[in-house]
Structure formats: structure tokens, C-alpha cells
Structure 1
Amino acid sequence: MRKRVFVTLIILLSVLGLFACSAKVKEGNGNEGKDSSATDDEVIKERTDYASVADPSAGALNVSLEEKRIIQDQSFNVELGDWGNVRFISYEPDNSIDFEDVSFFLTKEDMVIYSFPYYCENNSTENYVGLFDSVAAVDFCDVNNDNIKDVIVIINYITGAGPQGMTPRPRARIFLADNKKFNQKFILATDLIDDITNNIEEKDLTIAAICKYLKNK
């Protein structure tokens, strides 16, 4: 009799042990499923973030350009480092605004993704060399030997004063590329602009002359 009771107790303990192990296994599987789900969520978020960076609209500015003000013969499709394939836009001033200067933009898929810095305060030429006349030339080359394309522009202005007042006077504009990750921009190289203005005569101011001068510095 005692032996039968003892055997029965052993059987009960074994059954209880099996239930306990089964519960632990289920609990472990539940945790693993939760961790896996969290990992999947992170992957989805990472893919979503990557897609938003790759999407040109993610970097679009709230700027609308009037087609009639785009200077077509001085606007170009170009590959500019991390910007990729973009269109450089030369944009003439609004005639209704006195002394407004020319502006420059980058567009991608018909959206403005970058506005170049102004040379004059408030983009006004009132205290500069004169009124905007035309964009004479645009070039994309590595000015400072960092293997990234920079932008050189030659802009004509007229003073309206004196016997030569209506003769266009060229001025250089140089934008140095600063391709910092997630903070791409162009820097207005005022020191180089002043250097060129002081050392290259207006009659000799061409893209080739600027590149040669900077190369020899």
C-alpha cells in the first residue's frame, strides 16, 4: 500500500514538472517573438528613413520659380557631387523690385532643392557696382582642389553713369561646394571674389582667366 502511494506521488511530481517546463518554453517563445517583431519594426523604420532621404521632395524648398524669369541659356543640367544630377538655374531679378540682383538655384524633378547664397545684403545691388544686366557665363569646376565641383559665374552690371554707363561691367561670383553629409551647401567665396576683382582686369575677365589665376595661386 505504501509502495503504491509512493509511486503515485512520484507520478504526480513528474506531471507537475512537465507542466512547469512547458510554461517556461511558452514564455521564452513569446519573448523571442516580441524581440523579433521589434527588430522588424526597426528595419522598416530604417528603410522608411532611407526612402525619405532618397526622395527629392524630402529636400524641396518652398520656392516657386516663374518660367519666364529663368535664364535658359545660362541654366544647365549638371552632376554635382552628392547632389547628383540636378539643374542649375540662373534666375533674373523681378523687374518690379528696384536693384534686385540675379539669383541662382538647384532644382531636381522640377522642385527647388537649394538656393545659393546672395552676394549683396537682401540680394540688392543698390550699394554695389550697378544694375543687373545679364549672366555672361557659368562653369562647374573644382576651384579649391578638393575633388568636388564648384560653381563660377560671371555677371554683367551697368552703372548708368558717365559716358561708359551703359557698358556692361563683369563681376565674378564663386560658390565653393561644402559636401558635408546631410548638410550639403555652397559657400560664397568672398575672399576669392575680391582677389579676382582686384587682380584681373574687367576686359580680361573670363572663366578661363579665372581658372588659370586660381590654379596659379
Structure 2
Amino acid sequence: MYKPSYGYFIILIFLALGVTACSLSDINTYNNEKTATAKVKQESTGQYPEKRINKAKNVVSADPEPLQNEDFEISYWSHKIDKKTDIKELIHKLGYGEGYDSSNRGYISGNGTYRRWNLSYPNYKDPEIRFVVLSKIELDGEELVDGESYLVGVSLENPKFKTKRGLKTGDTLGKVLQLYGQPSIITNGSLLYSNNGLHLSIQWDTKTEKVNNIFIKYNMEKSIKQQHSADYVDEDDQPNLDLEPYTTQEGQTFTTTLNGWGKVRFVSTLKDEETNDLIQAKFFLEVISKKYVEKKILYEFPEFYGNSGRMIDRIKAVSFKDVNQDGRTDIVIIADYITGVNAHGIETLPVAGIYFQKKDNTYTTLSELDKNINQTGHNRTLQNVIQYVRKQRINVQ
């Protein structure tokens, strides 16, 4: 009968140890995977907030490729849409969209020279996409028709349609930043990316931090210029020509009594976004009198300190007070300016400025004083500003 040698037993022992080691290795790997999976689940449920913060920072610090003209193109049912899109050809292929006639032929605004209107698909009641068009009105016999037309912009209103980089409605603000980086213009609810006269305007819900509209502007400046040159007036917004192109901030506009002026209306405004410049603050005095049917500007204040290279988000506070105690009414203003945007919305800081009333009742600013107020951090509240300035013994002639 064969008897196994000692060498045989030694080989068996090594084989057993190898199997055991492999089993332990598999168990450790399995346990590590479970731990990693559990950690991911914990992070996703907010148990590791510092990780989420770092993730948000990484999103904001993303450095995507610079915008090219191609980034403003989109595809709609295999049709390439860009600045040169032929409107008549588009209509020939897609028609006018259901409800065109009952929606006053897509009318938005216009006059006897131009008509601004939209093509909405698949219908006007619940559109997925809208094409805004400017047409010159022509006479065909006794009928007014659309003559030369061009695409002003396109609005994406359904997540089935994406930008060239893959952005769609419903995406997060974080994804916007990841795809496009920091915008050229930021407001509390919209971001604007621009390149070579093309603009990508992204509207987002400040509560949900998600995109609710994407509007690509192809010929916006051209259309505005043409309409204004034809004495264009939007019937929904009769502008105050003296204040154009500013938008009144009603919450910080007040009726007050000022030395030398009597009862007036102090008007806070922000420069219109459509100019695609920095959004800046401007202040006026308007007359209050039954004699004038239209608003009449009495006085335009000097440049606000907070405008210096900054994008103003809002006028935060206004106070009419004799700050330097010379018997005249000074005006203290605090605004919020935008420092950037992150995955959770815009970032702002306060900026303060003071208008001192002179002996002739006009107003002036002291740039060095304004600079000191803001550099020392005495710009958080109106009381902050006033207390700081009263210690400086300011004398204005």
C-alpha cells in the first residue's frame, strides 16, 4: 500500500493556506466595497456635509473650454438652428405650430413698421420650443404680410431639447457652472454667457436652484436697434423716455421732502440688462405735480460709488438723513453687488455710498470717504454707515 511522503503533506498545507488567504482577501474586498457603498449612501443623504461642500466647490472651480460660435447652435428635429436660420425655410418644413392663428399669429409686440412674433412648437398652449422672429411689415395688395424676417432668438422650454454642451431645463445650477464656467453677467435668477455677439441666457429658480428656461439670443441687439429706430413702443411697457434704459426699483423708490426741492420722488434704478453691460445703479429726482401728466426728471445724481467695476444685484436700503449735521438732507444708499455664483446661487457683498447735499441744494460724493466706509466694513447697515461718518466731521460746501 502506498504511503504519502512528508513532502506530500507539506504541499497540502501550502495549498490550504493559499485557499484561506484568498478567502480572507475576498472577504476583506467585499467588506471594503460594502463600507465604500455605505459611505456613498451616507454622503448622498447629507451625513457628510463637508464632502458635499467640497463637491460644490469643485463644480464651481471647473474650467470648461471657452465658448465658440458652435456652442450657440441647437438641433430641432434634425434641423440645425443658428444665427443664419432661414425663417421661411423653417416654416416651410415645420409649419406654424398648432394655435398660431388663435394666438394672434404669434404676436409679441410691434408697430406699423416691424412685427415681433414667435413660432411655437408643437403648439402655442404648451410649447416645447419657441422661435422669436422680427419681421418687416409689408403690404401685399390690401393685406399686411411678413416681409424680410430673421431669427432673434430661441427659447428651450422642455428638457427634451438641449444646448450643444448638453444643458437642458431642469438641470441644476451646479451643472450650468460645470458646463460653462463663470458667466459674463449674473443677476439673482439669470446667468448670461456671451461670445462674438451671441448670448446664452439661462433663467434659474432661486428656490430649487434649477434651470427653468434657456434662451439663445442670435440677433437681439439688431432687433432692438431696428425697433427703436422705428419709434418702437412695446404696448405692455410704456417706457419713461427720460429714464431709458433704466428699470425703476419700486421697493427703494420714495416720495420725500428735500431742502430746496420740496416734495419730490426719489427714484432708484438699475441699468437695463438688454445692453449686456454691467448692471449698475442710477438715482434721480422726479417732480410731483398734477401739472405734468408724464414723469419729469428734476435731477440726476452723480455716479454711485458702488458702480466702480461692479455688477449690482439690488438696491438694498436708502436713508434720507442729515449725516454730517449741517442742516441739509443727505442720502445714504446700500446696494448688494455680485461677487460670483456657486452651485447654490449668487454670492453678494454690500457696498455703501453717500450723497451729501451742498449749499446750492445739489448733491456730491466724497470718493475717499466712500472707499473708507467700505474698506473698514462699516457698510452692512444704514446705522453702521451713519455712525461711522458722524465721527469723521465731514464739511461740504
TM-score grouping bracket, smaller chain normalisation = 0.5 to 0.7
2-structure distance, mates of 1:216, 1:68: 35
Counterpart amino acid of 2:299? Y
Q: Give the TM-score normalised by structure 2.
A: 0.34
1:210 aligns with one of 359, 366, 385 = 385
The alpha carbon displacement at 1:163 in A equals: 7.7
The 3-state SS of whatever aligns with 1:176 is strand
CA contact (8 A) 2:282 2:304 kept: no
Which protein has the bigger helix share? 1
Q: Deviations over 1:8-38 (max 9, x none)?
A: xxxxxxxxxxxxxxxxxxxxxxxxxxxxxxx
Contact 1:141–1:149 (CA under 8 A) maintained in structure 2: yes
| Root-mean-square deviation over aligned CA pairs | 2.7
Pairwise CA distance, 1:165? 8.1
- In structure 1, distance between residues paired with 2:365 and 2:383: 20
Check 1:164–1:173 CA distance in 2 against 1; reply closer, same or farther (3 A cut).
farther
Q: How much has 1:102 moved relative to structure 2?
A: 1.1
How many residues align? The count is 146
Could you say which residue in structure 2 is the equivalent of 1:104?
Answer: 283
The question of 1:200 aligning with 2:385 is answered no
Per the alignment, do residues 185 and 63 of structure 1 end up closer, same or farther by CA in structure 2, a change over 3 Å counting? farther
2:334 aligned with 1:159: no
Aligned residues with identical type, % of pairs: 29
Give the TM-score, by structure 1 length: 0.60
CA contact (8 A) 1:81 1:179 kept: no
Superposed CA offset, 1:76-96 (max 9, x none) = 111110111111000121111
Show the counterpart of 1:6: none
Q: Distance in 1 between matches of 2:330 and 2:257?
A: 11
2:260 maps to a residue whose letter is D
Q: Is the 1:158–1:165 Cα contact (8 Å) retained in structure 2?
A: no
Report what 1:69 is aligned to.
Answer: 247
Name stretches of at least 5 consecutive residues in structure 1 with no aligned partner.
Answer: 1-61
Task: Say whether the 8 Å CA contact 1:82–1:179 is kept in structure 2.
Answer: no
Which residue identity lines up with residue 132 of structure 1 in the other structure?
A: I
1:194: Cα distance to partner? 1.0
Counterpart residue number, 2:301: 116
Q: Do residues 177 (structure 1) and 357 (structure 2) align?
A: yes
Aligned match of 1:47: none
Counterpart in 2 of 1:19? none
Cα distance, 1:100 vs structure 2: 3.6
Please give the alpha-carbon distance, in whole angstroms, between the structure 2 residues aligned to 1:164 and 1:174. Answer: 32
In the alignment, structure 1 residue 189 sits paired with structure 2 residue 374? no
Deviations 1:138-185 (A, max 9, x none): 0011122111010000011102267898222110011000132xxx31
Gaps of 5+ in 2: 1-239, 289-294, 393-397
Specify the SS of the correspondent of 2:368. Answer: helix
CA–CA distance in structure 1, aligned partners of residues 363 and 345 of structure 2: 33
Equivalences for residues 50-89 of structure 1 within 5 A: 64-65=242-243, 69-89=247-267
Structure number having the greater strand percentage? 2
Identify the residue that residue 136 of structure 1 maps to in structure 2. 316
**Cα distance in 1 between the residues matched to 2:245 and 2:342:** 35
Bigger Cα Rg: 1
> How far off is 1:189 after superposition?
2.0
Q: Does 1:92 align with 2:270?
A: yes
Matching residue within 311, 314, 330 for 1:150: 330
